[in-house]
Amino acid sequence: MELYDQAKNLIFNRQSSSNNSSGTSLNNISKCLDITIVQLKPILNRLYKESYITVRKGINGELIFLKNYKQKQS
């Protein structure tokens, strides 16, 4: 699985587990994927251009959220 898909899944899983109340920080994504933030930025830019994510300011910095969050139905 390429880093793009891993980042997408990571953001989705984080938002699903928090019931859409928590975003994911750049540091968290970078740490989980074991890449630098410099390597992560093109992936996030691509997700942003595809309208998959949005960025919101949180207490401790910027957080990544899904733009249109819909929880998977089992």
**Alpha carbon distance 10, 48 (integer Å):** 15
Cα separation of 61 and 66, whole Å? 17
Longest dimension (CA), the chain: 36
pLDDT of residue 39: 94
φ and ψ at residue 46, rounded to 5 degrees: -65, -45
Question: What's the pLDDT tens digit per position in 35-54?
Answer: 999 999 999 999 999 999 99
Q: Which residues contact 30 (CB under 8 A, 6 or more apart)?
A: 36, 37, 39, 40
Are the C-beta atoms of 66 and 12 separated by less than 8 Å? yes
The whole-model pTM stands at 0.80
